[in-house]
Amino acid sequence: MNPEPTDPRTANRHQTGVPSAILPAIEERDLPPGRHQFHKEHLMNRIHDDRRAAARAPRNPFLRKAVLLPAATALAGALAVGVLVLAPGGVPDAGDRATGPALTTAIGVADPHGAPRLLDRISLAAAGAETPRRRAGQYVYIETRSASTHVRTVDGVSSLVGVPLHTRQSWRSPDGLKGWLIEPGTTGPEGITLEGTDEKGDVPEPHLGAPSHDYLATLPTDPGALLRKIYEETEGQGNGKDQQAFTTIGDLLTESWPTPELTAALYRAAAKIPGVVTVDGVTDAAGRKGVAVARLDESSGQRTEWIFDDKTLTFLGERTVQVVGNGGEGGLIKPGTVVFTHAIMVRAFVDDMKVTPSGTAS
């Protein structure tokens, strides 16, 4: 299922989710695609705050060392889209706040022939979007809504649980060296700094898996050259080169704020990846309806869907759905389970950390 929005408007490029937690070490499991910058920030949190984390396998140029899942905060809207499924399980671990129901949805039918034409239209719309203007000293502000489903094991009993819809706010300097994160259940009301060094004590260098805003400006905008770079720099990662390329592009679209020119190039590059399809009638984490460009990861049976407003072709967000076979420990993740859903609500330049586009302090 997907949550209904409290604000049903379809956001434009600058206003795209609305106003994301930690587990103790738990069993190793797969996480959904698309969360590299998210997990990079949480890894930094662990370094500075000795946060508890769960190990997982790497996936993109940023090889995620830890997984910190959002807390089960109160839903911002009614959970009315789809079907609620609460799998039976034991008493929740005191450190695991993911106690909500599993998220489910109807599996949309994939069109294997529609992607090139749709991505061409989407790229034209993206190229024509207003170019955001940034003043010196401003920060990139991104506000999202997300929810997820995973397998949790307590006293040897595994069950399927959901992390309900929650809001996450992040601020990043264009060079990526300074930042702030506020995420209920993870950081506390005041949030935490994202400034610091990596696990080796070095200042992190931006790259495809964890780009800064300035780094994005160095990427080629020729779709062929851009796709070659992605293939070369992600070689040997993920579940096959084509799936990894699709995942990397999705991360760049979801976790950062590319210029209109680069955004258009990313869509045209995606159109060149084999296996990319379209799916109608999808819903993002904020309850907004749209059409998706998607690709099935055949190794996991999960399909990652980039969701667009079907009228304006604005990028709304991303979700990952189990569509083939059963996944997770014990095969508890059944077809129709939404493994992860992430809606972009606001992307803007702001004058300082903890300041929102409205000019108010968060």
Look at residue 31 and tell me if it is in a domain. no
Look at residue 361 and tell me if it is in a domain. no
Residue 279 reports pLDDT greater than 50: yes
CB burial string 16-46: b at 16+ within 10 A, e below: bbbbbbbbeebeebbbbbbbbbbbbbbbbbb
pLDDT in tens, 31-76: 444 344 444 443 443 333 332 233 233 333 222 222 222 222 222 2
Total domains in the fold of the chain: 1
Residue 171 reports pLDDT greater than 90: yes
Look at residue 21 and tell me if it is in a domain. no
Per-residue pLDDT at 201: 83
Look at residue 362 and tell me if it is in a domain. no
Residue 12 reports pLDDT greater than 50: no
Domain that holds residue 199: 36-350
Look at residue 258 and tell me if it is in a domain. yes
The mean pLDDT value for 245-265 works out to 95
Tokens of 132: 């955001």
Look at residue 181 and tell me if it is in a domain. yes
* pTM for this entry: 0.74
Look at residue 255 and tell me if it is in a domain. yes
The mean pLDDT value for 211-215 works out to 94
Look at residue 310 and tell me if it is in a domain. yes
Residue 141 reports pLDDT greater than 60: yes
